[in-house]
Amino acid sequence: MTVITRGFSGRGRQSENLPPGQYLTEDFPVLSAGPTPRIALDRREFTITTETGQRHTWTWPELMALPAETPTVDLHCVTKWSKLNTSWRGVSLDVLLGDLTDASGYAMVHSYGGYTTNLPLPDLLDGRAWIAYEYEGEPLPPEHGGPARLLVPHLYLWKSAKWVRGMTLMGEDEPGFWESLGYHNYGDPWREQRYWGD
């Protein structure tokens, strides 16, 4: 039985409209599995590799030229903090994936620095995911994944890969960096899918 520490309330607060087990926070914790990649903007690219091996690459200026959206979303981290009503600017994956997929199968998302995460393709489509490059009206800072990160707010935040460099479309699923070491393969915060078997 854990002892309660008198007088300690910590930063997180509980709130009714949060997924189970989450605490509300006002700040934006920086979590990272490795050093912040620093790659010159003119060498930044985003590449989608299809199941047949075709590569579609957008340079940074090309990405910036695509139609953008400004979603406001809630973020839920598996380490139990949630941050509500965060505002972003980015390109919808519907625009990038467009004709490249029939919406079946999976994607392995790759980041500069080697991080990976996997998702079913339908979870990247229908307005549910973006390649985001602005946060709260400013260019996305490096510690939060800038210049560009994946943003998939309906899943736990580890799926919103920072420093995104591309994705590989796959017919069969394969676990990414955290999914291969205990974290849930899908990661729905509303069903509290944090770990294998949840």
Partner 1 sequence: MDETWLDGNELAGAMRELFAVDVTMARGQCASCGRTGMLAETRVYAMAPGLVVRCIDCEEVLLRFVRGPDRAWLDMRGVGYLEFGLPAEPVPTVGP
Partner 2 sequence: MQPSRLAWRVTTVKAVRPETLIASTLVLDVADWPGHLAGQHVDVRLTAADGYTAQRSYSIASAPDTSTIELTVQRVPDGEVSAYLVDEARPGDQFELRGPIGGYFAWRPVSTRPLLLLAGGSGIVPLMAMIRTRAASGNAAPVRLVYSVRAPDLVIYAEELRRVAGNDGVEVSYVYTRSVPEGWDEPPGRLDASRLARAAWPPSAEPDCYVCGPTGFVEAAADLLVAAGHQPERIRTERFGPSGG
| Interaction of residue 35 with partner 2, rule CB under 8 A | no
Nearer to partner 2, 6 or 38 (CB): 6
* Cα 76 to Cα 127: distance, rounded to the nearest angstrom: 18
Q: How many CB atoms lie within 10 A of CB 85?
A: 8
Smallest separation, CB 195 to partner 1 (Å) = 5
64 interface partner picked from partner 2, partner 1, none, CB below 5 to 8 A per type: none
Contact call for residues 73 and 151 (beta carbons, < 8 A): yes
Determine the Cα angle at 7 with ends 5 and 9, to 5°. 85
Using CA atoms of 100, 105, 110, 114 in order, give the dihedral in degrees to the nearest 10: -150
> Which residues within the stretch 121-150 sit at the binding site for partner 1 (CB under 8 A)?
143
104 interface partner picked from partner 1, partner 2, none, CB below 5 to 8 A per type: none
**Region from 4-12, 53-61, 117-125, 176-184 binding partner 1, contact rule CB under 8 A:** 176-184
List residues near partner 2 by CB under 8 A: 2-14, 23, 27, 80
List residues near partner 1 by CB under 8 A: 29-36, 77-79, 114, 143, 158, 178, 180-183, 194-195
